[in-house]
Amino acid sequence: MANYLFAPAPVFSLTVQGVEARFPVNRIFCVGRNYHAHAIEMGRPVDKSTMKPFYFHKAASALVESGSTVPYPCGTSNYHYEMELVVAIGAAGFRVNESDAARLIYGYAAGLDMTRRDLQLVLRDQGRPWDVAKNFEKSAVCTPIVPMGRLGVLQTGSIALQVNSVAKQSADLSQLIWSIPELLADLSKYYHLQPGDLIYTGTPEGVGAVVSGDVITGQIEQVGSLQLTIGTAE
């Protein structure tokens, strides 16, 4: 055993539906602007013929399991939800072809890319990194993972979110600008994808703010349902 000065950071992991072993999380990649209507609501439309997907990261330590209550975070007064399909990687891949991308997929989950929107917009307009707006404690909400199994490579399925039971987001996975195989092929040009990596695939339109006391619920067809309660400010 190595002799460390202090206890190393814990391994962050997720439960897997129907499987006893947990899924240990490595990196969390997030895709920006991957639904046209959301890109437009953010004032940054996407032209797939001339543009490429882009990515940012969250630390695995930002994970929080669905069903949790999280404090309203410090440093923001415009805390937004973004409901997203999460792809869980189960096999290594580098420069994979779209036609071969399915072998990388372990399964799927429903996730929330929680965002300090006020900070993100300022950083975006200044051309600065989004980190403090996106990558902070308890900002990556995730349900248990559903193994891919008969689901195959998801191409359709409803994705929806409610705040206090009021519908806010309602779309379909078929509206993803870059499909799951396209994302895996593109991302693996830049990274050696590894088992344990998660990919948050982007949010549809209807993002908005939550406040202390709100309860967020969300569903992705065939994948899962999530819930997050916003607690008092920390």
> According to CB under 5 A, which one of 76, 188, 201, 203 is a site residue for Mn ion?
203
Applying CB under 5 A, which part among 117-125, 200-208, 211-219, 223-231 lies near Mn ion?
Answer: 200-208
The window from 19-27, 146-154, 179-187, 202-210 that contacts Mn ion (CB under 5 A) reads 202-210
Least distance to Mn ion, CB of residue 93, Å: 22
Binding residues for Mn ion, rule CB under 5 A, total: 3
Residues 44-83 that bind Mn ion (CB under 5 A): 82
CB of 114 to Mn ion, least distance (A): 9
Burial (CB count <10 Å: 0-12, 13-18, 19+), residue 94: exposed
Residues 93-132 that bind Mn ion (CB under 5 A): 113
- Between CA 15 and CA 144 the distance in angstroms is 5
Q: Which stretch binds Mn ion (CB under 5 A): 139-147, 168-176, 197-205, 208-216?
A: 197-205
Beta carbons of 38 and 203 less than 8 angstroms apart: yes
C-alpha 5/C-alpha 12 separation (Å) is: 21
By beta-carbon proximity to Mn ion, the closer residue of 51 and 92 is: 51
Comparing every residue's Cβ against Mn ion, the nearest one is 113
Instruction: By CB under 5 A, tell whether 38 contacts Mn ion.
Output: no
201 lines the binding site for Mn ion (CB under 5 A): no
> Residue 207 Cβ, how far from Mn ion at the closest point, in Å?
8
Work out how close the CB of 111 gets to Mn ion at its nearest, in angstroms, rounded to a whole number. Answer: 9
Nearest-approach distance from CB 103 to Mn ion, in angstroms: 26
Q: Which is nearer to Mn ion, 82 or 197 (CB)?
A: 82
Q: Give contact residues for Mn ion (rule: CB under 5 A).
A: 82, 113, 203
